[in-house]
Amino acid sequence: MLATWVLPAERSKFSTIVYSGFQIGTVVGLVASGWLCSSTFLGGWPSAFYVFGACGLVWGLAWCCFVYERPEEHPGLSDADLRMLRLHQESVKGKEILPIPWLSIATSLPFWAIMATSLGNDYGFYTLLTELPTYLHDIQHFDLDKNGMLSALPYLLMWVFSLAWAALVDVLTTRDKVTIVTVRRLSMAVSLYGPMIGLIAMCFVNCNAVLAVAALCLSGMLSGAVNSGYLCSHQDLAPNFAGTLLGITNTLGALAGIAGPAVTGAIIQGRESIWAWREVFLISAGLYLVTCTFYLVFISADVQPWNDLRRSRGQSNADDKTSTYEPI
Protein backbone atom coordinates (compact mmCIF):
# COMPACT_ATOMS: atom_id res chain seq x y z
CA MET A 1 0.00 0.00 0.00
CA LEU A 2 2.86 2.39 0.69
CA ALA A 3 4.12 1.82 -2.85
CA THR A 4 0.70 2.91 -4.13
CA TRP A 5 0.14 5.87 -1.85
CA VAL A 6 3.61 7.37 -1.35
CA LEU A 7 5.88 9.10 -3.88
CA PRO A 8 9.31 7.45 -4.35
CA ALA A 9 11.24 10.39 -2.87
CA GLU A 10 9.07 10.33 0.27
CA ARG A 11 9.18 6.61 1.01
CA SER A 12 11.78 6.92 3.75
CA LYS A 13 9.72 9.45 5.67
CA PHE A 14 6.33 7.79 5.41
CA SER A 15 7.65 4.25 5.80
CA THR A 16 9.38 5.34 8.99
CA ILE A 17 6.17 6.88 10.34
CA VAL A 18 4.35 3.61 9.68
CA TYR A 19 7.06 1.21 10.87
CA SER A 20 7.87 3.31 13.94
CA GLY A 21 4.67 1.88 15.35
CA PHE A 22 6.75 -1.23 16.09
CA GLN A 23 8.99 0.76 18.41
CA ILE A 24 6.37 2.83 20.20
CA GLY A 25 4.20 -0.28 20.55
CA THR A 26 7.14 -2.11 22.10
CA VAL A 27 7.68 0.73 24.56
CA VAL A 28 4.03 0.80 25.60
CA GLY A 29 3.88 -3.00 25.71
CA LEU A 30 6.94 -3.46 27.90
CA VAL A 31 6.02 -0.71 30.36
CA ALA A 32 2.32 -1.58 30.53
CA SER A 33 2.96 -5.33 30.77
CA GLY A 34 5.27 -4.87 33.73
CA TRP A 35 2.67 -2.74 35.49
CA LEU A 36 -0.24 -5.05 34.65
CA CYS A 37 1.61 -8.18 35.74
CA SER A 38 2.44 -6.66 39.12
CA SER A 39 -1.14 -5.39 39.65
CA THR A 40 -4.34 -7.20 40.63
CA PHE A 41 -6.26 -5.92 37.58
CA LEU A 42 -8.10 -8.82 35.88
CA GLY A 43 -6.03 -11.34 37.79
CA GLY A 44 -2.58 -9.83 37.27
CA TRP A 45 -0.54 -11.29 34.41
CA PRO A 46 -3.58 -12.42 32.31
CA SER A 47 -4.63 -8.76 32.09
CA ALA A 48 -1.73 -8.07 29.70
CA PHE A 49 -3.29 -10.44 27.18
CA TYR A 50 -6.82 -9.11 27.69
CA VAL A 51 -5.84 -5.45 27.34
CA PHE A 52 -3.64 -5.79 24.26
CA GLY A 53 -6.04 -8.23 22.62
CA ALA A 54 -8.87 -5.71 23.03
CA CYS A 55 -6.68 -2.94 21.60
CA GLY A 56 -5.96 -5.11 18.58
CA LEU A 57 -9.67 -5.66 17.94
CA VAL A 58 -10.45 -1.94 18.14
CA TRP A 59 -7.56 -1.06 15.85
CA GLY A 60 -8.57 -3.74 13.36
CA LEU A 61 -12.11 -2.39 13.14
CA ALA A 62 -10.80 1.14 12.59
CA TRP A 63 -8.51 -0.16 9.81
CA CYS A 64 -11.42 -1.84 8.02
CA CYS A 65 -13.48 1.34 8.16
CA PHE A 66 -10.95 4.03 7.24
CA VAL A 67 -8.19 2.46 5.10
CA TYR A 68 -8.30 2.26 1.29
CA GLU A 69 -5.98 0.09 -0.78
CA ARG A 70 -5.60 2.49 -3.72
CA PRO A 71 -5.89 6.28 -4.08
CA GLU A 72 -8.63 5.82 -6.69
CA GLU A 73 -10.86 4.24 -4.05
CA HIS A 74 -10.58 7.05 -1.49
CA PRO A 75 -13.68 9.29 -1.59
CA GLY A 76 -11.92 12.28 -0.04
CA LEU A 77 -8.88 12.45 -2.34
CA SER A 78 -8.82 15.46 -4.67
CA ASP A 79 -8.34 15.11 -8.42
CA ALA A 80 -5.11 17.13 -8.21
CA ASP A 81 -3.60 14.77 -5.62
CA LEU A 82 -4.70 11.74 -7.63
CA ARG A 83 -3.08 13.10 -10.80
CA MET A 84 0.16 13.81 -8.92
CA LEU A 85 0.29 10.27 -7.56
CA ARG A 86 -0.33 8.77 -10.98
CA LEU A 87 2.28 11.03 -12.59
CA HIS A 88 5.07 9.95 -10.24
CA GLN A 89 4.13 6.28 -10.01
CA GLU A 90 4.20 5.03 -13.57
CA SER A 91 5.74 1.74 -12.42
CA VAL A 92 2.74 0.95 -10.20
CA LYS A 93 -0.05 -1.11 -11.73
CA GLY A 94 -3.71 -0.18 -11.67
CA LYS A 95 -6.43 -2.60 -10.62
CA GLU A 96 -5.28 -5.39 -12.92
CA ILE A 97 -3.74 -8.47 -11.35
CA LEU A 98 -0.23 -9.17 -12.61
CA PRO A 99 1.28 -12.67 -12.56
CA ILE A 100 3.91 -12.99 -9.86
CA PRO A 101 7.35 -13.59 -11.46
CA TRP A 102 8.52 -16.18 -8.95
CA LEU A 103 11.60 -17.24 -10.90
CA SER A 104 12.76 -13.66 -11.41
CA ILE A 105 12.24 -12.91 -7.73
CA ALA A 106 14.14 -16.04 -6.67
CA THR A 107 17.12 -15.14 -8.87
CA SER A 108 17.25 -11.43 -7.98
CA LEU A 109 20.40 -10.53 -6.04
CA PRO A 110 18.93 -7.26 -4.71
CA PHE A 111 16.02 -9.23 -3.29
CA TRP A 112 18.40 -11.73 -1.70
CA ALA A 113 20.12 -8.73 -0.12
CA ILE A 114 16.81 -7.72 1.46
CA MET A 115 16.21 -11.25 2.72
CA ALA A 116 19.68 -11.43 4.23
CA THR A 117 19.37 -8.19 6.15
CA SER A 118 15.84 -9.09 7.25
CA LEU A 119 17.21 -12.29 8.76
CA GLY A 120 20.05 -10.55 10.58
CA ASN A 121 18.00 -7.60 11.77
CA ASP A 122 15.08 -9.64 13.08
CA TYR A 123 17.31 -12.21 14.78
CA GLY A 124 18.99 -9.48 16.82
CA PHE A 125 15.81 -7.45 17.35
CA TYR A 126 13.69 -10.30 18.71
CA THR A 127 16.55 -11.74 20.72
CA LEU A 128 16.92 -8.47 22.61
CA LEU A 129 13.17 -7.87 22.76
CA THR A 130 12.43 -11.20 24.43
CA GLU A 131 15.64 -11.80 26.38
CA LEU A 132 16.64 -8.31 27.51
CA PRO A 133 14.45 -8.44 30.65
CA THR A 134 16.10 -11.75 31.57
CA TYR A 135 19.57 -10.25 31.13
CA LEU A 136 18.73 -7.17 33.20
CA HIS A 137 17.26 -9.33 35.97
CA ASP A 138 19.83 -12.14 36.10
CA ILE A 139 23.03 -10.23 35.36
CA GLN A 140 22.33 -6.60 36.32
CA HIS A 141 19.84 -7.51 39.10
CA PHE A 142 17.05 -5.05 38.32
CA ASP A 143 13.65 -5.64 39.90
CA LEU A 144 10.47 -6.12 37.83
CA ASP A 145 9.29 -2.49 37.82
CA LYS A 146 12.69 -1.05 36.84
CA ASN A 147 13.21 -3.92 34.41
CA GLY A 148 10.15 -2.95 32.38
CA MET A 149 11.18 0.70 32.16
CA LEU A 150 14.80 -0.07 31.28
CA SER A 151 13.81 -2.72 28.73
CA ALA A 152 11.57 -0.14 27.04
CA LEU A 153 14.17 2.64 27.01
CA PRO A 154 16.19 1.39 23.98
CA TYR A 155 12.99 1.15 21.93
CA LEU A 156 11.86 4.63 22.96
CA LEU A 157 15.19 5.99 21.75
CA MET A 158 14.86 3.87 18.62
CA TRP A 159 11.48 5.47 17.88
CA VAL A 160 12.77 9.02 18.36
CA PHE A 161 15.92 8.40 16.31
CA SER A 162 13.99 6.72 13.49
CA LEU A 163 11.85 9.83 13.00
CA ALA A 164 14.86 12.16 13.19
CA TRP A 165 16.85 10.02 10.74
CA ALA A 166 13.94 9.86 8.30
CA ALA A 167 13.58 13.64 8.39
CA LEU A 168 17.30 14.02 7.68
CA VAL A 169 17.43 11.65 4.70
CA ASP A 170 14.18 13.10 3.37
CA VAL A 171 15.78 16.55 3.23
CA LEU A 172 18.89 15.13 1.56
CA THR A 173 16.93 13.27 -1.12
CA THR A 174 14.52 16.10 -1.92
CA ARG A 175 17.51 18.43 -2.38
CA ASP A 176 19.27 15.83 -4.56
CA LYS A 177 22.22 15.61 -2.16
CA VAL A 178 22.17 11.82 -2.12
CA THR A 179 20.57 9.09 -4.21
CA ILE A 180 17.90 6.71 -2.97
CA VAL A 181 20.28 3.75 -2.96
CA THR A 182 22.77 5.76 -0.91
CA VAL A 183 20.05 6.47 1.65
CA ARG A 184 19.26 2.77 1.87
CA ARG A 185 22.92 1.84 2.36
CA LEU A 186 23.59 4.56 4.92
CA SER A 187 20.47 3.62 6.84
CA MET A 188 21.39 -0.04 7.04
CA ALA A 189 25.02 0.68 7.92
CA VAL A 190 23.88 2.82 10.84
CA SER A 191 21.11 0.43 11.93
CA LEU A 192 23.18 -2.78 11.88
CA TYR A 193 26.85 -1.83 12.20
CA GLY A 194 26.01 0.57 15.05
CA PRO A 195 24.17 -2.03 17.17
CA MET A 196 26.89 -4.55 16.29
CA ILE A 197 29.43 -2.30 18.02
CA GLY A 198 27.05 -1.87 20.95
CA LEU A 199 26.61 -5.63 21.36
CA ILE A 200 30.36 -6.18 21.25
CA ALA A 201 30.71 -3.51 23.95
CA MET A 202 28.16 -5.44 26.01
CA CYS A 203 30.67 -8.27 26.23
CA PHE A 204 33.02 -6.11 28.29
CA VAL A 205 30.74 -4.19 30.68
CA ASN A 206 30.48 -7.14 33.10
CA CYS A 207 28.16 -6.18 35.98
CA ASN A 208 28.45 -2.43 35.47
CA ALA A 209 24.76 -1.58 35.17
CA VAL A 210 25.31 1.97 33.93
CA LEU A 211 27.58 0.92 31.06
CA ALA A 212 25.30 -2.00 30.18
CA VAL A 213 22.23 0.23 29.93
CA ALA A 214 24.21 2.84 27.96
CA ALA A 215 25.40 0.24 25.43
CA LEU A 216 21.89 -1.20 25.08
CA CYS A 217 20.39 2.25 24.60
CA LEU A 218 22.97 3.11 21.94
CA SER A 219 22.28 -0.14 20.10
CA GLY A 220 18.54 0.35 20.27
CA MET A 221 18.68 3.98 19.21
CA LEU A 222 20.81 3.40 16.11
CA SER A 223 18.56 0.52 15.07
CA GLY A 224 15.90 3.13 14.30
CA ALA A 225 17.54 3.91 10.96
CA VAL A 226 16.32 0.53 9.68
CA ASN A 227 12.93 2.06 8.87
CA SER A 228 14.57 4.10 6.09
CA GLY A 229 16.64 1.13 4.94
CA TYR A 230 15.66 -2.34 3.82
CA LEU A 231 12.02 -1.88 4.84
CA CYS A 232 11.72 0.57 1.93
CA SER A 233 13.65 -1.60 -0.53
CA HIS A 234 10.65 -3.78 -1.40
CA GLN A 235 8.92 -0.71 -2.80
CA ASP A 236 12.07 0.38 -4.63
CA LEU A 237 12.59 -2.91 -6.44
CA ALA A 238 9.03 -3.81 -7.38
CA PRO A 239 6.16 -1.50 -6.39
CA ASN A 240 3.68 -3.92 -7.96
CA PHE A 241 4.84 -6.79 -5.76
CA ALA A 242 6.01 -4.92 -2.66
CA GLY A 243 3.45 -6.73 -0.51
CA THR A 244 4.52 -10.12 -1.83
CA LEU A 245 8.21 -9.35 -1.27
CA LEU A 246 7.54 -8.06 2.23
CA GLY A 247 5.54 -11.19 2.99
CA ILE A 248 8.49 -13.37 2.00
CA THR A 249 11.11 -11.40 3.91
CA ASN A 250 8.85 -10.94 6.92
CA THR A 251 8.31 -14.71 7.08
CA LEU A 252 12.06 -15.25 7.01
CA GLY A 253 12.49 -12.58 9.66
CA ALA A 254 9.81 -14.20 11.82
CA LEU A 255 11.63 -17.53 11.61
CA ALA A 256 14.81 -15.75 12.66
CA GLY A 257 12.83 -14.16 15.48
CA ILE A 258 11.82 -17.63 16.65
CA ALA A 259 15.36 -18.97 16.33
CA GLY A 260 16.98 -16.10 18.24
CA PRO A 261 15.24 -16.62 21.60
CA ALA A 262 15.51 -20.41 21.18
CA VAL A 263 19.26 -20.23 20.63
CA THR A 264 19.60 -17.81 23.53
CA GLY A 265 17.65 -20.12 25.81
CA ALA A 266 19.84 -23.06 24.83
CA ILE A 267 22.99 -21.06 25.56
CA ILE A 268 22.05 -19.61 28.95
CA GLN A 269 20.04 -22.55 30.31
CA GLY A 270 21.77 -23.76 33.44
CA ARG A 271 24.61 -21.25 33.07
CA GLU A 272 23.15 -17.79 33.69
CA SER A 273 26.50 -16.02 33.59
CA ILE A 274 28.19 -13.13 31.84
CA TRP A 275 30.15 -15.61 29.72
CA ALA A 276 26.97 -17.18 28.38
CA TRP A 277 25.50 -13.78 27.54
CA ARG A 278 28.69 -12.86 25.71
CA GLU A 279 28.02 -15.75 23.34
CA VAL A 280 24.48 -14.45 22.81
CA PHE A 281 25.67 -10.93 22.01
CA LEU A 282 28.48 -12.09 19.71
CA ILE A 283 26.17 -14.31 17.64
CA SER A 284 23.82 -11.38 17.02
CA ALA A 285 26.75 -9.07 16.27
CA GLY A 286 28.19 -11.55 13.77
CA LEU A 287 24.87 -11.84 11.95
CA TYR A 288 24.61 -8.05 11.82
CA LEU A 289 28.06 -7.85 10.23
CA VAL A 290 27.55 -10.54 7.58
CA THR A 291 24.00 -9.70 6.53
CA CYS A 292 24.52 -5.93 6.44
CA THR A 293 27.66 -6.28 4.33
CA PHE A 294 25.79 -8.48 1.86
CA TYR A 295 23.03 -5.87 1.66
CA LEU A 296 25.45 -2.99 1.06
CA VAL A 297 27.13 -4.84 -1.80
CA PHE A 298 24.10 -6.12 -3.70
CA ILE A 299 21.17 -3.79 -2.99
CA SER A 300 19.66 -1.58 -5.69
CA ALA A 301 17.03 1.16 -5.66
CA ASP A 302 16.09 0.75 -9.32
CA VAL A 303 12.72 -0.71 -10.31
CA GLN A 304 13.48 -4.22 -11.54
CA PRO A 305 12.44 -5.40 -15.04
CA TRP A 306 10.25 -8.11 -13.50
CA ASN A 307 8.10 -5.48 -11.79
CA ASP A 308 5.91 -5.70 -14.92
CA LEU A 309 7.12 -8.40 -17.30
CA ARG A 310 4.26 -7.79 -19.71
CA ARG A 311 5.27 -4.16 -20.14
CA SER A 312 8.93 -5.14 -20.51
CA ARG A 313 8.10 -7.73 -23.16
CA GLY A 314 5.82 -5.32 -24.94
CA GLN A 315 8.53 -2.68 -25.00
CA SER A 316 11.02 -5.25 -26.28
CA ASN A 317 8.68 -6.27 -29.10
CA ALA A 318 8.08 -2.64 -30.00
CA ASP A 319 11.82 -2.01 -30.13
CA ASP A 320 12.26 -5.02 -32.42
CA LYS A 321 9.57 -3.78 -34.81
CA THR A 322 10.97 -0.27 -35.03
CA SER A 323 14.63 -1.25 -35.31
CA THR A 324 16.40 -0.93 -38.64
CA TYR A 325 19.37 -3.00 -39.69
CA GLU A 326 22.12 -2.22 -42.10
CA PRO A 327 22.45 -4.82 -44.85
CA ILE A 328 25.59 -6.90 -44.67
Domains, the chain: 2-92+102-308 (1.20.1250.20)
Query: pLDDT at position 284, please?
Result: 93
92 has pLDDT over 70: no
Sequence-separated (6 or more) residues with CB below 8 Å from residue 207:
139, 140, 274
Query: pLDDT at position 296, please?
Result: 96
Which three-class secondary structure state does DSSP give residue 324?
A: coil
Query: pLDDT at position 324, please?
Result: 38
Q: Distance between CA 220 and CA 213 in Å, rounded? A: 10
Mean pLDDT of the chain: 82
What is the amino acid identity at position 245? Answer: L
The answer to whether the CB of 178 falls within 8 A of the CB of 172 is yes
pLDDT tier for residue 312 given thresholds of 50, 70 and 90: low
For the chain, the maximum distance between any two Cα atoms, rounded to a whole number of angstroms, is 90
The CA-atom distances, in angstroms, between 17 and each of 20, 225, 226, 293 are 5, 12, 12, 26
pTM higher than 0.85 for the full model?
A: no
Summarised one tens digit per residue, pLDDT across range 247-289 is 999 999 999 989 998 999 899 887 778 888 899 999 999 999 9
- Per-position b or e across 185-202, b if 16+ CB within 10 A of its CB: bbbbbbbbbbbbebbbbb
Query: pLDDT at position 208, please?
Result: 81
Average pLDDT of span 28-37: 78
Summarised one tens digit per residue, pLDDT across range 217-243 is 898 899 999 989 998 899 899 988 988
Query: pLDDT at position 207, please?
Result: 77
Query: pLDDT at position 36, please?
Result: 81
More confident position, 189 or 67: 189
Q: Distance between CA 185 and CA 183 in Å, rounded? A: 5
Q: How far apart are the first and last CA of the chain?
A: 52
